[in-house]
Amino acid sequence: MSTFKRNSVVVAIAAAALAACAGQPPAPGQRPAFGAAVSANEIARWDISIPPSGAGLPAGSGDAKRGEAVYVAQCQACHGPKGAGKPADPLVGGAGSLATGKPMRTVGSFWPYATTLFDYTRRAMPLNKPLSLTNDEVYAVTAYVLYLNGIIRENAQMNAQTLPQVKMPNRDGFVNVSK
């Protein structure tokens, strides 16, 4: 009997020590939750993706004339004069080539949404200094590339309202199979 009591005391002390060291185990149904609240202002500084609706496009505007200057300064060294390509990918041409044995996929011949051009240029270009262009510069150089492909007029202003309305030539060239 005395042995039993002694053992009980030892077990109780051990349990208390465990609880003190390890903290309380989570209650059933309780989940770990370590994410921190974040403000709308902070989210706005992070959110750079632009869907086809244009939601999230910033203020600012630009046309192909202004965009040509941006292009020559920031893009031409890699993408060639007037988007012709070399050493990096061409940005123009390829119209009518998709169903041939030598398809050429460019902004003009293949890209389905103009918003993607703004999104990608802002997030990734120029290669050696992304996130460095002003919003006006991104709109302007986007306009220039669209103009080079004959999609918009030279004086067309690209901004948050007009850019999502640009109908790309290959807009209907995709089959959604989602598999």
Contact footprint for other proteins (CB under 8 A): 31-38, 42-43, 46-52, 78, 87-88, 98-103, 105, 107, 110-113, 115-116, 119-120, 123-124, 127, 130, 173-179
**Cβ-contact 146, 162 below 8 angstroms:** no
Distance in Å, CB of 16 to other proteins, minimum: 25
Q: Cβ closer to other proteins: 106 or 159?
A: 106
What DSSP element (H or E) covers 62?
A: strand 61-62
Q: Cβ closer to other proteins: 28 or 32?
A: 32
Distance in Å, CB of 49 to other proteins, minimum: 5
Q: Cβ closer to other proteins: 47 or 154?
A: 47
Distance in Å, CB of 118 to other proteins, minimum: 11
Distance in Å, CB of 130 to other proteins, minimum: 5
Q: Cβ closer to other proteins: 66 or 79?
A: 79
Distance in Å, CB of 99 to other proteins, minimum: 3
* Residue 169 identity (one-letter amino acid): P
**Cβ-contact 65, 154 below 8 angstroms:** yes
Contacts of 52 by beta carbon, 8 Å cutoff, 6+ apart? 113, 115, 116, 164
Cα 157 from Cα 159, distance rounded (Å): 6
Long-range contact pairs involving 94-101 (C-beta distance under 8 Å, separation at least 24): 95/169, 98/170, 98/173
Cα 132 from Cα 35, distance rounded (Å): 30
Lookup result for tokens 């302007």? 140
Q: Cβ closer to other proteins: 3 or 35?
A: 35
